[in-house]
Structure 1
């Protein structure tokens, strides 16, 4: 079972985290149990709100720094919009990839008490996190079919999880 505070994997029988000493307990689901579609959907909704706010702030701040502004220069508004979209795309990608490597989860997954790990219960690397993100982008081209695979298989893994050899599991929480 994973400690929600230090993210270390402990044995299922452990009462306390071997790394930080925090008392462990289940949060209604056994730690390490695959997280289903709806809890992952809830986490994704939180992430969408967070990342759109951050991406919008970064894009709004970046455009003037690059000297791009409608009305001030002769730059067409399409160039400004394209720059803002590229900045937003970078922020969204960076958030998804970096958070999974650094914390094993995004802010939405933290709120939901779930975490991304490899199928061997190891932390996700940058390579795997990038592959997982790429798999999520591919899911968009299939109108989300890859996400609905989470419902259809017992391992609760989507196409992006299979691409990166990862899974999403529940964490243990403090008593």
Structure 2
């Protein structure tokens, strides 16, 4: 046995603690995501309305087509949001808003977020927002700046 086995770890051997993202940085990233989602979806809706206008010269047909598009929009928008957040969190650990803000979602042990955890985290969003958004504000009080959905999915949001 060498004496090295019993030596305390050197300063370079200790992994640095991650810097957890605060409420404001997370809120700005989320706001950017919501803005991007709405802009993208609005562009899709305008493209659909333009296509309907081109093929529906009669006003009654056009009106019914617009009503159909609006209903489709209202029904598919929640699915669009779910796909956006679950895909980007499960793929890269960050949405476009988090990329812009320099944030990343990781597992509590520092590993990569899996698609299953991204799904669980998205379900947790609903639980965080239901009681007047208290689950999001919880990150202000939490030592690791975790919201309820972070605790549910065992994830953390860190500064890159």
Question: TM-score over 0.5 for the alignment?
Answer: yes
Unaligned runs of 5+ in 2: 1-10
Match of 1:112 among 90, 94, 101: 101
Structure 2 CA distance for partners of 1:60 and 1:150, relative to 1, 3 Å: same
Query: Which structure has greater helix proportion?
Result: 2
Q: Does the alignment pair 1:162 with 2:151?
A: yes
* 1:61 Cα deviation from its structure 2 partner: 4.1
Higher relative contact order (Cα pairs below 8 Å, separated by 6+ residues): 1
Bigger CA radius of gyration: 2
State the TM-score, normalizing by the size of structure 1: 0.70
* 1:120 Cα deviation from its structure 2 partner: 1.0
Q: Does the alignment pair 1:33 with 2:33?
A: no
CA distance in 1, matches of 2:67, 2:130: 25
CA contact (8 A) 1:40 1:109 kept: yes
* 1:82 Cα deviation from its structure 2 partner: 2.2
Q: Does the alignment pair 1:96 with 2:85?
A: yes
Structure 2 CA distance for partners of 1:59 and 1:94, relative to 1, 3 Å: farther
RMSD (Å), alpha carbons? 2.8
Match of 1:125 among 103, 114, 134: 114
* 1:134 Cα deviation from its structure 2 partner: 1.1
Structure 2 CA distance for partners of 1:79 and 1:157, relative to 1, 3 Å: same
CA distance in 2, matches of 1:82, 1:161: 33
CA contact (8 A) 1:59 1:85 kept: no
State the TM-score, normalizing by the size of structure 2: 0.76
